Structure 1
């Protein structure tokens, strides 16, 4: 005899079977995923920081997640374009660049800071012993940047310089050096290779400088370990939205949903792995959409216009 209860049970069973089949479908098509990050620190530090989290993702998604440490932001962009990278940790500017150049990638989350905010700053650092109080005083000196596609290490600094009337950094400064990573930029400043450097900063406890100070990576000429007080910020930008985590647009919807869920639950399901990512300086992941970076795309267009103007 067919009754309402049996119909409901049959419907529930069919729904469960469909969901299970969908999950199996994505696992069959994507038995492995590649998650790319750009090194803000040395390769061993990146591996140590990200390996527990990728292990957590593997467990939650039911497929192996491989960590790829990209050489630079351009490698992440091209990796997603070619389909070799399925998940990526982007900077805001590199994500905007990827979208502008037609990469099929969608943002789904970004970091939440300890204070609940979802942004950070680009700052100009000098040594505390230097006489410089403003960026304008550094005309003819050496400027250290990070990477052409870095948000806080190139694009926002150039935007900030333009607001100061410095429309061509390459002629205003004696030399402009791309150091390759946020850590390398701070090392260049500490060693005197450059006189001022652009870098990322959220607060005194959450920045590349803070991480390097904790590790004892910055040293004076006599070998003594440097402290935060040995550096000084002479300019801070307006807030920048934290860079996104993004997945390839072509991934199955069931897999995308599983990825979003895994990120959302990470702070409670594997707190140790989550805290390792930021030395305990983040409180979770904020659900985001690609449109959240529309303003960053406008920034990149502005910086591109500056380059074209200089070239002409």
Structure 2
């Protein structure tokens, strides 16, 4: 037979537990009155703001706290921002996330981008102008190559890896290797004739950095005339690269991490317009991912690091 005092004790314990859960939820809000969400520079600052502004506003509503968008100047800024704890959630490229993990940043991947066809990978491609005589990489010996950033997967690490597979060391094969700082700058350098070939990311024929720039009228030749997709030619495409992750600081409170993960996974339903803007409506809902998925990318950047040391 259950004693009355036992029953009352159980009710009291349940009441305390019910009160404790909201208290825990409120505790992280006191500790984190503002969360910073940072994005690696795939495009210029105004483009990032236009693309991510509505999503960041959605995050603020869902989490019930202020969320601030930080547009990084370069890939390293997101890595160092998370290392210092000033960036709570980062939208990374695969190589920059791998670099963060490799250098001891305590950050965890929690969702991965998914392409419109359901795949979770993309390619690095080498573009030349269609009017140029270049048909293969071998045709470009002594010419100028435009790369993106040392922490870019598709704009630096994978291109060097792909060239090495062809027996080419970029530093000695090309007349000059120029680091342009962003994917957009690499395309502009090619269009303007500053470089003869450039590396960039490519999801599909109708979804690439190039097609997004062309849709905005951002690509012009030296004469100022707008260029079209037919004005560019792909001469080499890399092996598949795992898609980009979003990653949060490992030491965030468990309740906050759960709330962030939930907000991301529910975004395509709760604010479809904001979610669709991130990929111009071409991406599918994020899917869960963990750090282990990027172990091969760590091996890739370790390989490229060794390659750069040998050719220095």
Query: Normalising by the residue count of structure 1, what TM-score does the alignment of the two structures yield?
Result: 0.95
1:221-240 equivalences under 5 Å are 221-240=222-241
Q: Is the 8 A contact 2:123 2:241 kept in 1?
A: yes
Could you tell me how far apart the structure 2 residues matched to 1:4 and 1:102 are?
50
Aligned to 1:256: 257
Aligned to 1:107: 109
Q: Which of 60, 64, 73 pairs up with 1:58?
A: 60
Is the Cα–Cα contact under 8 Å of residues 123 and 234 in structure 1 kept in the other structure? Answer: yes
Contact 1:170 1:176 in 2 (8 A): yes
Correspondences of 1:1-312 after superposition (within 5 Å): 13-166=15-168, 168-311=169-312
Deviation at 1:149, TM superposition (A): 0.5
Question: Does the CA-based 8 Å contact 1:205-1:281 persist in structure 2?
Answer: no
Once residues 229 and 79 of structure 1 are traced to their aligned partners in structure 2, the CA distance between those partners, rounded to angstroms, is 40
Equivalent-residue separation in structure 1 for 2:310 and 2:240 (angstroms): 26
Deviations 1:217-265 (A, max 9, x none): 1123333321111111111111101111000111001111100000000
User: CA–CA distance in 2 between the matches of 1:129 and 1:179?
Assistant: 22
Tell me: CA distance 1:9–1:264, structure 2 relative to 1, closer, same or farther (3 Å).
farther
Secondary structure at the aligned position of 2:199 is classed as strand
Is the deviation greater in 2-11 or in 133-142? 2-11
CA RMSD of aligned residues (A): 1.8
Distance 1:178 1:3, change over 3 A: same
Cα distance in 2 between the residues matched to 1:241 and 1:26: 33
Please list every run of 5 or more consecutive structure 1 residues that lacks an aligned counterpart in the other structure.
none
Equivalent residues of 2:162, 2:238 under 8 A apart: yes
For 2:126 and 2:11, the matched residues in 1 are separated by: 63
- Paired with 2:216 and 2:261, the residues of 1 have a C-alpha distance of 32
Distance 1:39 1:271 in 2: 23
**TM-score, with length taken from structure 2:** 0.95
1:269-300: CA deviations, max 9, x gaps?
00111111111110111100011100000111
**Deviates further, 199-208 or 218-227:** 218-227
> Would you say the 8 A contact 1:109–1:245 is kept in 2?
yes
Q: Distance in 2 between matches of 1:159 and 1:84?
A: 32
Question: Can you give the 5+ residue segments of structure 2 that lack an aligned partner in the other structure?
Answer: none
Q: For residues 139 and 8 of structure 1, do their structure 2 counterparts lie closer, same or farther at Cα, with a shift above 3 Å needed?
A: farther
**Offset at 1:14?**
4.0
Is the contact made by 1:125 and 1:232 (CA closer than 8 Å) also made in structure 2? yes
SS in 1 for 2:218: coil
The structure-2 alpha-carbon separation of the partners of 1:2 and 1:57, relative to structure 1 and needing over 3 Å to count, comes to farther
Give the distance between the partners of 1:229 and 1:3, measured in 2 at CA.
81
